[in-house]
Amino acid sequence: MPWRARDVRPLLLRRRAGRPQLKRDPLGRNAGTVPMYVARLGAISLLAIVAVGGTSSVRAQADREHQAPAAVLDSFFQALADERWTDAAGFLDPADLDAYRFQAAAGMRRRPRDLTADDLLRTDPQMPRAVAEYELERTRARRATYGDYLGREFAGIHDAAQLESLPVRELVIRWLQAQHPALRLREQLRLMGCPPPPGLDSAFRLGAVNVVGTVLRGDTALVLFRSPWRPFPDSGFFGSGPQVAHLMREGSQWRILPRHDLVQPSPSSIKVERCSDTSPAPGKPPR
């Protein structure tokens, strides 16, 4: 028909308009992001748990490393108290001691010969010969009682050549024996002809080392401790402070440096004036 508009179609032939489709939910979240959000929360929680566990593990490892030098020192003194010489020597680094023995041997060789009565009379012509001989006799008796220099540093060694020829492990053992207070006292008692008092061995087998603190710096450690053989108070003007042990790490093991003040806090000599029948007090070394 000429009057019908060309762009008009019957109602049933038109496409029915639908509702507009939302691309996001009313809260502004993509429907596919909800599971991802939950997964991210789970991952963050897991990482936090792993981080806490890792921190605890690192802290425990640091504590073990901090306590290792003190444990080595305690094991060393326990072996020393039990007179397990080979075990005690294994805790020490022998390098410095090996170098020191050659210095001691050289000093022994430079030592002047023994004096005679004529030597004393040349230095003091007014001295009667009887007095000179008396002084020489006192010197010989003192040397026989307290031993010579090498014997005080290395037990049983009295000759420079013998000292230089010792194997390193035997050298360390002889040095420890010379530093051990019980052995030094026994030797003095033997030279004086005195029997060892009862309870001498048990008096030197005391408790563990009292560690005051440990300082770590790389492969070196300083351990402040109180020796069980020096139960003196640290208070007062003349109070004794803690000793310091120096350790070096070799690989995974700590070695103790054999310093002169390791066993005894200060150079000391044991002197027995006369034999005594009294025994040391329980738990305390004889003085």
Q: What number is the average pLDDT over the span 109-122?
A: 78
Quote the number of domains for the chain: 2
- Residue 164 included in any domain: yes
Residues 175 and 187 in one domain: no
Q: Mean per-residue pLDDT for 119-142?
A: 83
Q: What is the mean pLDDT of residues 122-145?
A: 80
Q: Among 124, 156, 179, identify where a domain stops.
A: 179
Q: Confidence class of residue 148 from pLDDT cuts 50, 70 and 90?
A: low
Close Cβ partners of 256 (under 8 Å, ≥ 6 residues apart): 72, 73, 76, 91, 92, 93, 245, 246, 247, 262
pTM: 0.63
**pLDDT value of position 281:** 47
pLDDT band, residue 169 (cuts 50/70/90): very high
Lowest mean pLDDT among 8-22, 116-130, 164-178: 8-22
- Using alpha carbons, select from 244, 246, 213, 250 the residue that is nearest to residue 227: 244
167 pLDDT tier (thresholds 50, 70, 90): very high
Inform me whether the pLDDT recorded for 279 exceeds 90: no
Here the CATH number for the domain that contains residue 259 is 3.10.450
Supply the angle between the helices 181-192 and 129-146 in degrees, to the nearest 10.
140
Same domain, residue pair 164 and 221: no
Q: Nearest Cα to 230, choosing from 77, 108, 105, 8?
A: 77
Please report whether residue 110 resides in a domain: yes
Average pLDDT, the chain: 75
Q: Which domain holds residue 244?
A: 64-83+181-278
Quick one: 173 and 206 in the same domain?
Answer: no
